[in-house]
Every structure is written in C-alpha cells, then in structure tokens.
C-alpha cells in the first residue's frame, strides 16, 4: 500500500464550511455499535473484523468494493422480531430491501414470512424453498403474468392496490379455479419519514386506495362480492426510516375504524390487519431506533385499544420490516483511490465504487457514516466527502464525515448500515460491475451474490 504524503485538508472547527455534519467522534478509531453489525470489532493490530475475519483478508479474497453481511446479526434480528411479535402476529421481511436465495433460507429457518413485489422476487423466493403460503405479493401494477404465477404458486396473500387489480386478480383466480386470499392496501392519509409524520393530505401518491371519500370502503364492497377473492384484511404502509410511533398510531386507528365500518355494513369482521414496514435504523450516531419489542408493544397496545373502543375482536397483526432487519447487518468495503484536499472546503476521498453500489445518498440525500478500517490512526480528524468513481458530480457516498488526516490511497474504508436498498438498487452505470455480497459467520466467509463480470455485461449486449 502506498502512503504518499499529501497536503493537509481543512481540519479545525473554525475553518469548517457550512454543511450538515456532526462533530467528529472523540476517537475516530471507535466503532459505534449502533451503526455497525453485531460482530464487527477491531483486532489486536487495529484492523476491523467481522465474524472474526479481518477486512484486509476479506479485501484480498473478495476484492473491493464489496458488501459484507454479518449472518449472525441478520439471524439475531429475525429472531428478535419474531420473538417480539409472538405467535399472534406475523413478521414479513420486505424482500425489496435485499433478497437472495441465502437470505430466503435464513428467513425460512428463523420463522419469518416474506413480502415480494415483482415476478423476479417471487421467483427467488420460490427457488429458495419459501413455502408459498408464507409469501405476500405487493405492487401497484402487477402484470397479469405475475398475478397468474403468484396465484398458481399459491401465495398466502396478494395485496390489492387498485380497483382494476381487484377485478384482475378475481378473474385470474376464477380461471385457475381457486379462491385467492387478498388484503386491500389503503392510504390512511398519513405519511411518515424519519422524525416527522404528516397526518393529512397524503393521498396524493401512487400506492393504495384512499380511505378518504369512501374509496377504500367501495373497494371492500367490490372485493367481498367476487367469488375468486377471500378478503382477509386491510393493509397500510406509511413511509420509511420512521422513528416516531405517532404515525403508526394514526394509521392503526384509521384501519381499525375501517374494520368497524365493514362490520357494520357487511356483518363481517376481517381477521387481519397489516401495518407495513418503514421502521428506522441508525445510519449515524445521531439516530436512535426503537427495539423490536418496543415496536411490538406499542403497535399491540394501539390496536387492542382501538378494537376495544370499536367493540371488535382484535385482528391478527402483521408487520413488514425490511431495512430494520437487513440494513444494519452489512457494510460496504471500499479502497481509497485518491485523496484531494480543497483548501477551505473539504477533502474529497474517491473510492472504487459509488452511486452504482449506493444510490441512496444521491437519491434521498441519505446520511451515512464511514470509518478507516484497515488500520487505526492517531491523526487529527479531517472533514471529508466520500465520492465514487462515476462520471457524475452527484456521485456521493457519504456527504460529510470525518476521517483521519493521514488517510491515503490504498487504505480501506467502510460505510456501515448498507444492507438495505444498496445492492438491491445497484446499477451498471458507467458499465460498473455490481459488487458481490459476502456472508460472514463464525470465521467463515462465503459469496451469496457473486461480483458481476465484464462477460455478464457483454452477455446482455447481443451486438
């Protein structure tokens, strides 16, 4: 590794430019357990390890950039969610956060169910042996072909998202001679993101059927009339990266009100409600996520209370965490290629990946942490922007963070909490080769999704 000298970037608080960043940690070598996977630590040489394996060895064996997923942490999180919700509720992992056959097998073994939202995700789930009745099929525009495959496979539920789809699924179920279990996705007029939620005027979106104006009640009326459908409940998903339970409270109240209206109008008590996913994780030390048992307790209490008030039997609850299970379990490992100090501004650190393996920063202004992981350093903190190698100035991985001022080409740095929506949203922009996902457990590392090759790219290019 080269350790070329370079001019120092801005370091001191009085020369820091405007921006959203927190002060550097007292010790840049420390790893906040909130943002790193469970088995991450440093060995006696100061090299970061996961599952007992130093990242320097992982980089040698698997190359960079690469995602390293802590399997023990993934299973522990599944176990915690399963345990927190108990046998009266179902936990559906939202496959869109990250899905592979290994992940499906872990979910199956840990007793979780699975949400899919495309034919490709359904195929992956079935290929890895997830029992179809534990799969829920989502999406605002499922194709006829996807619906047919889902009904034929016998998925446990299809979540209906529009009036057209109610008819479409009923028709396909009739043709195949089955009665398909379905839920209706409603928009409750709540949108929640991170620390805020807004309780009005958020029907303006593509998902679901609005409670407002009696739309959802009309959808229920139609679904109940169709022989091909068995309406088992109502579904609501209010947002993403949510810390505040208040949005779920409003959502649960409105969903239970709808169940009461359905009982009054049709004389049926629907047996299930699904409150969706969206629970937040810590990307930086500033985030304080809730534990699964707190979430389960809060949701259980809200639903029980609302049902008692409406004199309804308490329905079976389901939840759909994606990010909260897989997000914290993985980090992306990069090699530093260039270090470019801009006097009075910040130092740009270029890595060998970027927006093709993590689009969330460019897409949502997402915040991430970063650490030097191939060694420790006593150098003072330097304000950095970690950028990728793509031809796009918005190609930012970590917008504002601190790394040691002696950072140099050849150093390995890692961005934690990249398990969700990074590999699953990865692209081939600039003909980048999408990185592998390597599962690490008890001193062993194995590739669960291999790195793309130039042959993979050329195979699709038929000339």
Residue 96 makes contact with ligand PLP by CB under 6 A: yes
Q: Which stretch binds ligand PLP (CB under 6 A): 216-224, 225-233, 321-329, 351-359?
A: 321-329
307: which 2 tokens?
């049902």
Nearer of residues 53 and 130 to ligand PLP, judged by Cβ: 130
Helices assigned H by DSSP within 287-416: 292-309, 323-326, 360-364
Residue 183 makes contact with ligand PLP by CB under 6 A: no
In the complex, minimum distance from the CB of residue 188 to ligand PLP, in angstroms, rounded to a whole number: 13
Q: Name the residue among 331, 407, 396 with its Cα closest to residue 372.
A: 407
Which residues in the 137-176 window bind ligand PLP by CB under 6 A? 138
Nearer of residues 100 and 240 to ligand PLP, judged by Cβ: 240
d(CA 463, CA 454): 15
Nearer of residues 77 and 237 to ligand PLP, judged by Cβ: 237
Q: Which of 117, 307, 391, 422 is catalytic?
A: 391
Q: Name the residue among 77, 58, 54 with its Cα closest to residue 66.
A: 58
Residue 134 makes contact with ligand PLP by CB under 6 A: no
Nearer of residues 47 and 238 to ligand PLP, judged by Cβ: 238
Residue 237 makes contact with ligand PLP by CB under 6 A: yes
Cβ(88)–Cβ(317) below 8 Å = yes
Nearer of residues 281 and 445 to ligand PLP, judged by Cβ: 281
Cβ(184)–Cβ(259) below 8 Å = no
In the complex, minimum distance from the CB of residue 94 to ligand PLP, in angstroms, rounded to a whole number: 3
Which residues in the 98-117 window bind ligand PLP by CB under 6 A? 115
Number of residues that bind ligand PLP (CB under 6 A): 17
Q: Name the residue among 203, 282, 268 with its Cα closest to residue 236.
A: 203
Q: Pairing relation of β-strands 180-187 and 229-235? A: parallel
Q: Pairing relation of β-strands 330-342 and 346-351? A: antiparallel
Cβ count within 10 A of residue 123: 14
Cβ count within 10 A of residue 200: 10
In the complex, minimum distance from the CB of residue 7 to ligand PLP, in angstroms, rounded to a whole number: 42
Which residues in the 263-282 window bind ligand PLP by CB under 6 A? 276-279
Helices assigned H by DSSP within 213-347: 215-225, 246-266, 292-309, 323-326
Residue 119 makes contact with ligand PLP by CB under 6 A: no
* 422 flagged as catalytic: no
Residue nearest to ligand PLP (CB): 322
222: which 2 tokens?
């139609």
For ligand PLP, the binding residues (CB under 6 A) are 94, 96-97, 115, 138, 237, 240, 276-279, 320-324, 420
Which positions are catalytic? 391
């Amino acid at each position: 590794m080269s350790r070329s000298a370079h001019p120092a970037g801005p370091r001191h608080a009085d020369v820091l430019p405007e921006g959203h960043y927190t002060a550097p940690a007292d010790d840049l070598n420390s790893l906040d357990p909130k943002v790193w996977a469970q088995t991450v630590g440093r060995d006696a040489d100061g090299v970061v390890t996961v599952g007992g394996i130093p990242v320097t060895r992982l980089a040698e064996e698997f190359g960079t950039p690469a995602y390293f997923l802590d399997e023990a942490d993934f299973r522990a999180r599944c176990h915690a969610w399963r345990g927190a919700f108990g046998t009266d509720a179902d936990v559906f992992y939202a496959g869109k956060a990250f899905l592979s056959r290994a992940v499906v097998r872990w979910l199956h073994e840990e007793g979780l169910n699975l949400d899919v939202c495309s034919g490709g995700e359904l195929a992956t789930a079935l290929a890895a042996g997830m029992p179809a009745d534990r799969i829920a099929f989502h999406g605002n525009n499922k194709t006829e072909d996807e619906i047919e495959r889902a009904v034929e496979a016998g998925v446990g539920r299809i979540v209906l998202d529009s009036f057209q789809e109610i008819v479409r699924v009923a028709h396909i179920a009739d043709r195949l001679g089955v009665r398909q279990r379905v839920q209706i996705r409603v928009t409750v007029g709540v949108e929640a993101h991170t620390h805020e939620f807004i309780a009005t005027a958020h029907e303006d979106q593509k998902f679901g059927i609005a409670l407002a104006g009696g739309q959802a009640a009309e959808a229920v009326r139609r679904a109940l009339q169709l022989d091909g459908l068995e309406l088992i409940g109502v579904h609501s998903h209010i947002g993403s990266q949510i810390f505040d339970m208040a949005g779920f409270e409003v959502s649960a109240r409105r969903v239970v009100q709808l169940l009461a209206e359905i009982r009054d109008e049709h004389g049926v008590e629907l047996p299930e409600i699904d409150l969706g996913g969206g629970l937040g994780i810590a990307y930086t030390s500033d985030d304080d996520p809730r534990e699964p048992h707190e979430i389960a307790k809060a949701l259980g209490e809200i639903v029980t209370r609302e049902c008692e008030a409406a004199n309804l039997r308490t329905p079976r609850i389901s939840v759909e965490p994606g990010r909260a299970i897989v997000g914290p379990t993985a980090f992306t490992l990069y090699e530093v290629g260039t270090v470019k100090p801009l006097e009075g501004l910040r130092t740009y650190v270029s890595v060998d990946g970027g927006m093709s393996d993590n689009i969330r920063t460019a897409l949502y202004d997402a915040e991430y942490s970063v650490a030097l992981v191939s060694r420790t350093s006593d150098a003072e903190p330097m304000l950095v922007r970690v950028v990728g190698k793509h031809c796009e100035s918005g190609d930012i991985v970590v917008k504002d963070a601190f790394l040691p001022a002696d950072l140099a080409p050849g150093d390995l740095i890692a961005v934690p909490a990249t398990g969700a929506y990074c590999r699953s949203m990865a692209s081939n922009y600039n003909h980048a080769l999408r990185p592998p996902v390597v599962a690490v457990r008890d001193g062993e590392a194995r590739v669960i999704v291999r790195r793309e090759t130039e042959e993979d790219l050329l195979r699709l290019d038929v000339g």
